[in-house]
């Protein structure tokens, strides 16, 4: 698992407004092949901006001001993501890195069937596939994420929130990427559905061997699912360690503050707050 998949070096993002906002500040981070890396921090600390920036999904007024992002492909090739042109980047996304966006379960087209929306991924990225091959691939995906082939002709409104989120995971998994970025993928779901989806993500990771960057403000959730956790504050990584050591031996005061802010079943909890300026 120590084999690197993604290397982020001195990466910074600024929002070009008046006054300018430094959303991500000189982040250096390495993601290992096959691991789940949790990215935690309060809302506005720069987690999503970092994830979007790494994939070149940022829009104005956001500007990448420094840094490099290298993808170490399974073929042995090192790909400089910042050096890819528009067409190369279009092919790279979903094929090498896919993303489950925040609120993605509400992004499905309400007037198109689940099957047709999943088929679109193959039609765009695998143009050589026949219609029957695309349908077979979609049926397989629906079975993998436990939605079921019978939902192929269903419309989004006919599915529960948890099932729609599973469809989005299927879409991200369709081309068998080496990295899946998940931005708050379970926030709008109830606790039981959250746990079912988390278990499924772990199972799929073991089955297909992809890495995961899992973004959330819910640190207890990350302690449950992650191999390592990066704690982000005001655009910076203030602590990075294994999930076990983050829980038992946190070093940064901010990490300790986050941990103490969640209620526990076995002890009195003292909620703490900290003043500060948050980034977008």
Return the pLDDT at 232.
96
Distance CA 208, CA 203 (A): 9
Helix%, strand%, coil% for the chain, nearest 5: 40, 25, 35
Give the DSSP H/E element, type plus range, for residue 74: none
CATH class of 1-96+179-280: alpha beta
Least confident of 60-74, 109-123, 173-187, 188-202: 188-202
142's CB contacts (< 8 A; 6+ apart) are 114, 115, 118, 148, 149, 151, 152, 167, 170
pLDDT exceeds 70 at position 1: no
Rounded to the nearest 5°, which phi and psi values hold at 156?
-50, -40
Residue linked to tokens 């996304």: 93
How confident is the model over 101-129, as a mean pLDDT?
Answer: 91
8 A C-beta contact, residue 63 and residue 51: no
Least confident of 69-83, 113-127, 146-160, 184-198: 184-198
Return the pLDDT at 271.
44
Return the pLDDT at 31.
97
Return the pLDDT at 185.
85
Tokens at 41, concatenated? 């921090």
Strand-pairing partners, residue 39, are: 215, 230
Distance CA 61, CA 22 (A): 12
Confidence of residue 191 (pLDDT cuts 50, 70, 90): confident
Domain boundaries, the chain: 1-96+179-280, 105-176
8 A C-beta contact, residue 95 and residue 44: no
230's CB contacts (< 8 A; 6+ apart) are 29, 37, 38, 39, 40, 237, 239, 240
Q: What's this model's pTM, rounded to 2 decimal places?
A: 0.90
Give the DSSP H/E element, type plus range, for residue 115: helix 114-125
Q: pLDDT tens digits, residue range 210-256? A: 999 999 988 888 999 999 999 999 999 999 999 999 999 999 999 99
Distance CA 110, CA 87 (A): 29
Averaged confidence pLDDT in the chain: 90
Look at residues 219, 151, 161, 156 and name the one whose alpha carbon lies nearest to residue 186: 161
Q: How far is CA 123 from the centre of its chain?
A: 24
Confidence of residue 266 (pLDDT cuts 50, 70, 90): low
């Amino acid at each position: 698992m120590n084999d690197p998949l993604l290397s982020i070096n001195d990466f910074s993002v600024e929002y070009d407004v008046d006054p300018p906002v430094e959303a991500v500040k000189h982040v250096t981070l390495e993601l290992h092949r096959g691991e789940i890396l949790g990215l935690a921090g309060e809302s506005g600390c720069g987690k999503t901006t970092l994830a979007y920036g790494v994939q070149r999904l940022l829009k104005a007024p956001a500007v990448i001001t420094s840094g490099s992002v290298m993808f170490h492909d399974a073929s042995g090739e090192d790909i400089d993501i910042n050096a890819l042109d528009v067409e190369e980047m279009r092919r790279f996304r979903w094929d090498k890195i896919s993303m489950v966006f925040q609120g993605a379960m509400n992004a499905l087209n309400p007037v198109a069937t689940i099957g047709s929306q999943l088929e679109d991924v193959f039609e765009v990225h695998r143009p050589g596939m026949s219609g029957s091959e695309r349908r077979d691939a979609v049926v397989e995906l629906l079975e993998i994420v436990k939605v079921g082939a019978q939902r192929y002709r269903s419309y989004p409104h006919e599915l529960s929130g948890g099932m729609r989120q599973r469809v989005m995971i299927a879409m991200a998994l369709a081309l068998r990427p080496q990295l899946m970025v998940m931005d708050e993928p379970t926030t709008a779901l109830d606790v039981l559905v959250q746990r079912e989806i988390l278990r499924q993500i772990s199972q799929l990771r073991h089955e297909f061997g992809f890495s995961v960057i899992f973004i959330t403000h819910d640190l207890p959730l990350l302690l449950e699912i992650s191999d390592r956790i990066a704690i982000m504050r005001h655009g910076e990584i203030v602590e990075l360690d294994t999930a076990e050591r983050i829980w038992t031996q946190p070093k940064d005061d901010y990490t300790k503050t986050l941990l103490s802010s969640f209620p526990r079943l076995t002890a009195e909890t003292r909620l703490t707050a900290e003043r500060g300026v948050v980034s977008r």
